[in-house]
Amino acid sequence: MKNVRVNLGSRAYSVYIGNGALSNISSLVNVRQKNRPVFVVTNKKIKSLHGGLLKKHLKKISSNILFCEVPDSEKAKSFSVYLKTVSALSHFARKKTPLLVAFGGGVIGDLTGFVASTYRRGVPYINVPTTLLAQVDSAIGGKVAIDIEAAKNIVGNFYQPKMVVCDTHFLKTLPEKEVRNGLAEIVKYGIIKDKRFFSFLERNLRNIIKLEDRPLEHAIFKSCYMKARVVEKDEYDTKKMRAILNFGHTIGHAIEAASQYAKSTTHGQAVAIGMIKACYIALRLKMIKKSDYERMVSLIRRASPKIRLKYARQGRILNALSYDKKFTAGVNRFILPSGIGRVRVVDNIPQNLIKEAIQDS
């Protein structure tokens, strides 16, 4: 089992990574968190696939466990689900301080973290992410939120978990589409921070997609390690540091908005296109060599095949970009590679270059 420490002073915690990592829960969890009422937030699908195993291990830390099921997908990050969850929690825990467990993908992690941050002005929670995206990205860093109709993640908080357990056993039931969704973020870490890791991904991509233990664990470990180092320097996202995690996300978010968050385009696919477009802009600005551009685009395409923008969508994407808060008042901000393993935050990219990048196929 591998371990990444997120050093945030009194809010520090560890991320444990490995096949079977959860079986160590009783020795990993802090003694203060034991014997509390344990409130697990999950959904029907995840509970039926893996709920039995989770319960078996949680019994080692408490005899009082309740599973609370929320709807699948982004629908769970709503006010009505939040309200139902908090009500069920208060009924279950009564006057005791509960321990919350998020058991699912990024949706359940974001919702549970938000419930934990607001219930009784903050109660402890553990994150047990079950998607690759959640294991390498959303479970670490303490951004918790729910959505409103007009905007995603607009009602939220920074609230760190007590512990994150990335047990790769749970990923074995994940459809390949969801594996590739997380893979786009893994490739992102290689491009923004670590050339050696990028080369590792070039060599091992296929085995990671097949969920082979060693390369998969290494990829998750390196991703968590890099995200932890960034979050430590910029916990509340007020400096430029955390912004580098948005590589590929400027155009990626515009693609998601232009498709009205249609399920046909996953977040990973949108980010993959966004990363390719950012590489194109960097190439045109002579920030990177053609050979590095080709290596980056080739790895992104291998991680996320079948990504081509439909001509009709290009206008809508440009339109969506103009609504991005980073683009208001004539200022825009891009995270661009300056080599493999390095990025820079660049403001004021000419509009015609953005247009050219979006039209490039």
Ligand X SMILES: NC(=O)c1ccc[n+]([C@@H]2O[C@H](COP(=O)([O-])OP(=O)(O)OC[C@H]3O[C@@H](n4cnc5c(N)ncnc54)[C@H](O)[C@@H]3O)[C@@H](O)[C@H]2O)c1
Which residues are near ligand X by CB under 6 A?
A: 43, 45-46, 49, 72-74, 77, 104-108, 110, 130-131, 133-134, 137-138, 141, 143, 152-153, 170, 173-174, 178, 181
**What are the backbone dihedrals phi and psi of residue 187, each rounded to the nearest 5 degrees, phi first?**
-60, -40
Which helix H or strand E contains 151, and what residues bound it?
A: strand 151-158
Rounded CA gap, 314 and 343, in Å? 25
Residues present in the chain in total? 361
Query: In sequence order, what DSSP letters do the residues of 182-241 get, joined into one string?
Result: HHHHHHHHHHHH-HHHHHHHHHHHHHHHTT-HHHHHHHHHHHHHHHHHHHHH-TTS-SST
Query: In terms of CB distance, is 34 or 233 closer to ligand X?
Result: 233
In whole angstroms, the minimum distance from the beta carbon of 203 to ligand X comes to 26
Q: What is the distance of C-alpha 346 from the center of its chain?
A: 23
Q: Which is nearer to ligand X, 45 or 355 (CB)?
A: 45
Q: Please give the span between the terminal C-alpha atoms of the chain, in angstroms, as a whole number.
A: 42
CB of 121 to ligand X, least distance (A): 20
Minimum distance from CB of 275 to ligand X (Å)? 15
Whether the CB-CB separation of 275 and 247 falls below 8 Å is answered with yes
Closest to ligand X by CB, 133 vs 307, is 133
Nearer CB in complex with ligand X: 110/217? 110
User: Which CB atom, from 106 or from 337, has the smaller least distance to ligand X?
Assistant: 106
**Shortest distance in whole angstroms from residue 152 CB to ligand X:** 6
CB of 21 to ligand X, least distance (A): 14
Q: How far apart are CA 190 and CA 40, in angstroms?
A: 33
Nearer residue to ligand X within complex by CB, 246 or 332: 246
Residue closer to ligand X (CB basis): 71 or 339: 71
Interatomic CA distance for residues 334 and 350, integer angstroms: 11
Secondary structure, 3-state, 102-130: EEECHHHHHHHHHHHHHHHHCCCEEEEEC
Nearer to ligand X, 33 or 112 (CB): 112
**Distance in angstroms (rounded) separating the CA atoms of residues 320 and 343:** 24
**Residue 98 Cβ vs ligand X, minimum distance, rounded to whole Å:** 21
Q: How far is the CB of 106 from ligand X (least distance, A)?
A: 2
Q: How far is the CB of 80 from ligand X (least distance, A)?
A: 16
Instruction: Count the alpha carbons within 13 Å of 321 in the hemisphere toward its beta carbon.
Output: 24
In order of 31, 66, 114, the CA distances from 101 in angstroms are: 16, 10, 12
Token look-up 């908005």 returns 257
Nearest to 323 by CA among 336, 335, 314, 332: 332
The least distance separating ligand X from the CB of residue 294, rounded to whole angstroms, comes to 28
Nearer residue to ligand X within complex by CB, 68 or 174: 174
